[in-house]
Structure 1
Amino acid sequence: MPRAVYLLGLAIFAQGTSELMLAGLLPEISTDLNVSIPAAGLLISAFAIGMLVGAPVLAVSTLRWSRRAAMLAFLTIFALTHVAAALTSSYGVLLATRVAGAFVYAGFWAVASVTAIELAGPEARAKAMSVLAGGLTVATIVGLPAGTLLGQHLGWRSAFWAVAIASVISIAGIVTTIPRGRSASVPQLRQEFRNLANPQLWLAYATTALSTGAILVIFSYLAPLLTGTTGLSDAWVPVILALYGVGALIGITISGRTADRRPFRTLVLSLTGVVAAAVLLALATGTAWLAVPAVIGVGTFGFATNPAVNSRVFSVAGSAPTLAAAFNISAFNVGITVGPWLGGLALDAGAGYSSVGWIGAGLAILAFGTIPPALRAAARARAGQPAYETASSITGA
């Protein structure tokens, strides 16, 4: 794997830390800016909205830029938004910096995905994407608790300064490793839009959104579930979150090594694991020795779906991957938004925290429903050509 791909993963780690760290900084921000906790929580929603919109908009507007120039521009703006956030005393300005930062972060994801795939080659698509997504996974294990600790001991602004510094380091890495100039194949906007009419892409997007929602509906409510229903003390929450992150890193690493040759089989096994772990969590929320392994299982199997769905999108996108990758980033953010929203509806209705496990299992089962038509479409597209995988290799027929 080229060194540049790992440096792109480092850039995702820096930006992903910003995406995650507010979950641990809300009390400090609320007190310092004199706003309510729910108002501070809107900063998280603002980031999700910025990402949802930013990926396709920036993918189109920078399509004819060199990928190196686009990524450097995105990272520079991202760093500057965090400098502005660290200096402001205005909640409105902080909210605007979250939207702007997420907007360019989504653009970076889209362009970095295509760049990593191009650098790694078609036989290592999933592995390259596992390195990128691994940056976000490491942000869960290291960046989130580190940002929380900085916020608690040095003030929430110190966490924003740390992200800005990490972004500058990432800029230096891209300058030294990503070649200048445009790629060998210049993207064509008309072809990029024409490619979006492919129903296989939208099946892949549905898989992405549903599988992501299955994970996030559980992850978003882990802390109150563990302390309020499972009965663990607050001190155990960061430990279990770290174990969740370790499981996610293991899952995404293994999947990155199998998804290039067996994307559908990897996806089926991963979703099966998500369903099993989510059902176990729903049935055993009050039993710590069962609930904790179930939580780790959700992280392990949930993140294992990531390289498979990314590899699938690039496989279908063919010679027009930029906009296809951007819409896949938006699909991830649809899952990130809808999953917690469904969980909130269930909790507001008095269903209890076991409901998030059942919803997670249900969303994973719906993701399963997208696989048979995708297999049929893939088989038709590959008719008469050598294939790594066919529908019969999944079923054993």
Structure 2
Amino acid sequence: MPLPVFALMLVVFSLTTGEFVISGIQPDVAAGLGVSIPAAGLLVTAYALGMIVGGPVVTVLTARLARKPLIAALVTVSVVGNLGSALAPNYAVLLPARFLAGSVVATFFAVAIATAVGMAPAGRQASTVAKVAVGMNLGIVLGTPIGTFIGQHAGWRATFAAVAAVSVAALLLVLRFVPARPRAAAGPVLGELRVFAGRDVQLALALTAVGNVGVVTVFTYIAPLLTDVGGFSAASVPLLLVVYGAGAVAGNLLGGRLADRALMPSLAGLLGALTVALALFWLLGGARPLAAVLTFVLGVLAFAIVPGMQTRVLTTAEAAPTLAVAVNASGFQLAAALAGWLGGTIIDDGPGLRSISLVGAVLTSAGLAVAVYILRRDRARTAPAPGVRTRRSAGR
């Protein structure tokens, strides 16, 4: 892997770890700060809200900046947010620190993809972007369980400090190896924003938000689900997160291939399978061997839907692709923000922890309904007009 690409991939790894590791250390954070599990779940919501607000706003405000100094600035803000999280004396400080750390992530992903494409040799743009995206998978496969292990043995503050340290190392590599490029070309802000008035773009963004909220809700509370419902020990959680992450890698590859062959039909099928898997996790999650298998399956299906959703947004928002990537990331985080609040509500005021998986299945079925609607809309648009005979029917 070329060093400039590796540098960007390492940043993605650190940002992804910082986002998802809270799921593994959530009980430790709650105990350390003297707050409830639902309150700790709101830390996921704060990070997600940072991405939701920061994604489109930061991307628009920085659209005319040169990419290398912009990347450096974005990573620096992330480092400050994670160091603030590590040093936070109480929950009231930790919450805005997580918001700050998340505020630059969506913009970084968008700029990193554009930078990778600009550095790629002719005909190898997609494979170069895929190498950068490997950081996201590694953040789940390695970063999240390693961060959980660090949190359990050195304290949850050490986890955030470790994430900041990796980000600093990645930033040094970016400064050394990523070539300087002219500032990105950008049209008028209102012109770029106008692309989101299109119905197809709106539906694509809705699919990302609605289709992910169910499984993200389950993942947000995966540690207490595995320990309190599945009967696993706390020491087993990092290993099970590795299992989930391995499924995520496989799912990412599978979803990309399926999306290349048949975008919307594959998305509809995967969302249907994810709905079933979440329902089975609710029914069978109390049996440890089945819970372990279903953890892997959820990892596969949760990330198999991502490439298709990203592709759908890009193909419907060709006039503003960088902004579209950032806004789509915000759509995913809208699901994450809702997940932290919703899971806590289910635990405190609803049917309890175990039912989170069932609620996740119901919510995912809503995403399936959006996918089916888009699929039918596409097919109706490409169907022959009434009275127009196809070549085959004309020859009968």
| TM-score (norm: length of structure 1) | 0.82
What is the match of residue 298 of structure 1? 298
- State the shift of 1:293 in Å: 1.8
Letter paired with 2:35 = S
Q: Distance in 1 between matches of 2:28 and 2:279?
A: 35
- State the shift of 1:243 in Å: 0.7
User: Which stretch of the first structure deviates more once superposed, 345-354 or 15-24?
Assistant: 345-354
Q: Distance in 1 between matches of 2:320 and 2:145?
A: 38
What is the match of residue 253 of structure 1? 253
Q: Distance in 1 between matches of 2:207 and 2:124?
A: 21
CA distance 1:337–1:92, change in 2 (3 Å)? closer
Asked whether the equivalents of residues 54 and 106 of structure 2 are also in contact (C-alpha less than 8 Å), the reply is: yes
Asked whether the equivalents of residues 127 and 256 of structure 1 are also in contact (C-alpha less than 8 Å), the reply is: no
User: Which stretch of the first structure deviates more once superposed, 94-103 or 18-27?
Assistant: 18-27
Q: Distance in 1 between matches of 2:262 and 2:122?
A: 14
Q: Distance in 1 between matches of 2:196 and 2:336?
A: 22
Question: Match of 2:103, SS?
Answer: helix
What is the match of residue 207 of structure 1? 207
Question: Match of 2:181, SS?
Answer: coil
- State the shift of 1:235 in Å: 3.6
User: Which stretch of the first structure deviates more once superposed, 185-194 or 125-134?
Assistant: 125-134
**1:102 has 2:81 as partner:** no
**1:276 has 2:276 as partner:** yes
Q: Distance in 2 between matches of 1:298 and 1:130?
A: 22
User: Which stretch of the first structure deviates more once superposed, 305-314 or 80-89?
Assistant: 80-89
1:311-345 alpha-carbon deviations (Å, 9 max, x no partner): 11111111311222222111101111223434444
**1:242 has 2:245 as partner:** no
Asked whether the equivalents of residues 21 and 143 of structure 1 are also in contact (C-alpha less than 8 Å), the reply is: yes
User: Which stretch of the first structure deviates more once superposed, 291-300 or 130-139?
Assistant: 130-139
Asked whether the equivalents of residues 66 and 184 of structure 2 are also in contact (C-alpha less than 8 Å), the reply is: no
What is the match of residue 325 of structure 1? 325
What is the match of residue 35 of structure 2? 36
Note the 1:10-21 alignment, pairs <5 A. Answer: 10-21=10-21
1:190-247 alpha-carbon deviations (Å, 9 max, x no partner): 3211111111111111111122112112222333333333333334333222211111
RMSD: 3.3
- State the shift of 1:150 in Å: 2.8
Q: Distance in 2 between matches of 1:129 and 1:271?
A: 25
Q: Distance in 2 between matches of 1:119 and 1:311?
A: 21
**1:355 has 2:355 as partner:** yes
Asked whether the equivalents of residues 207 and 309 of structure 1 are also in contact (C-alpha less than 8 Å), the reply is: yes
- State the shift of 1:252 in Å: 0.8
Q: Distance in 2 between matches of 1:269 and 1:94?
A: 39
Question: Match of 1:370, SS?
Answer: helix
CA distance 1:43–1:8, change in 2 (3 Å)? same
Q: Distance in 2 between matches of 1:2 and 1:233?
A: 41
Asked whether the equivalents of residues 216 and 336 of structure 1 are also in contact (C-alpha less than 8 Å), the reply is: yes
CA distance 1:121–1:215, change in 2 (3 Å)? farther
| TM-score (norm: length of structure 2) | 0.83
Letter paired with 2:314 = F
Identity of aligned residues (%): 35
What is the match of residue 175 of structure 1? 175
- Consecutive unaligned residues of structure 1, counting only runs of 5 or more, are 385-397
Question: Match of 2:65, SS?
Answer: coil
User: Which stretch of the first structure deviates more once superposed, 244-253 or 219-228?
Assistant: 219-228
Q: Distance in 2 between matches of 1:213 and 1:9?
A: 26
1:259-280 alpha-carbon deviations (Å, 9 max, x no partner): 3443224323321321221122
Q: Distance in 2 between matches of 1:97 and 1:216?
A: 21
